[in-house]
Amino acid sequence: MAELIKGRELADNMQEQMRLEVADLKKQNITPGLVVFLIGDDPASKTYIKNKEIAAQKIGIQSKLENFPADISEAELLSEIKKYNNDPNYHGILVQLPLPEHIDEQKVLLTIDPKKDVDGFHPVNMGKLLLGQPEAIPCTPYGIMKMFEAYEIGLAGKNALVIGRSNIVGKPMAQLLLAQNATVTMAHSYTKKLPALARQADIIVSAVGKGHFVTKEFIKKGAVVIDVGMNRDENGKLIGDVKFDEVEPLTSFITPVPKGVGPMTITMLMQQTIEACKRQELD
């Protein structure tokens, strides 16, 4: 019987520790600050941001939302970001993706001061991760590494398969697994005979964004399965990339959707805001 990796529970425990850490910082007159930019009114982004605000409030982080209309000019947005680069009260800056088509995502990410990039997407932070000297790490892969740690899932010498090669999850996930001495394979839409390849994996991280894509044909008995997918089925129900009911009996550990990876992503964002604050205020 598989053990369920309870992301919600782990996130709550970590956030309680963070609350105590922030209380200590406040005794030194230091309050971690996070500003979130939302462009337009995408419903999924709004929900995600609301959850971030709830977490920040619970932990004691000062959180501010800058919501701009979808037709804001690129120049205006860059100028707003620069304001916060120079504002000592805000230690973390996050721009909620995706952005409207007329705004260059790379330009926006490059404008954020790498020291305040709590999402870990700035090329400087991506480069540090590649060199094995991570400072800010993309939050979803970072949260997954915390899950492995909490559940004492050893990675050294294991075969790990990452399905999906996005900059947000797939690529940084592969780097973090490599740093823990796993042997990593990356799969994507061009990978041939994927189920056969997956059956060689001790650990599967699926971030492909296709509902119920990973079936029992992908699973070696005893594998660890991490489901990053957030998809909706035909009835609007939230489902993962993994066909949970048929995959779960074959695994040793598995994450549910919801209450799996999602809560950990927001938790790591809060953690990195606190870390950025300490680097800026105490170093």
24 is a catalytic site residue:
no
Please tell me whether 164 is known to bind a ligand: yes
Q: Residue 199 contacts by C-beta under 8 Å, 6 or more apart in sequence?
A: 217, 218, 219, 220
Q: Which residues contact 134 (CB under 8 A, 6 or more apart)?
A: 125, 128, 176
Catalytic residue among 15, 115, 117, 119: 119
Handedness of CA 151, 155, 161, 167 (dihedral sign): positive
- In the set 6, 52, 116, 146, the catalytic residue is 52
Q: Which of 15, 96, 271, 280 is catalytic?
A: 96
Question: Is 96 a catalytic site residue?
Answer: yes
- 119 assigned to active site: yes
Tell whether 154 is in a known binding site: no
**Residue 165 in marked binding region:** yes
Yes or no: say if 119 and 139 are a contact pair by the CB < 8 Å rule. Answer: yes
* Strand arrangement of the beta sheet that strand 92-95 belongs to: 62-68, 33-39, 92-95
Checking 51-56 for CB contacts under 8 A at 24+ apart, the result is 51/266, 52/94, 52/266, 52/269, 55/15, 55/266, 55/267, 55/269, 55/270, 56/270, 56/273
For residue 12 the two structure tokens come to 């709550």
Residues taking part in catalysis: 52, 96, 119
Cite the annotated binding site for NADP(+) by residue number: 164-166
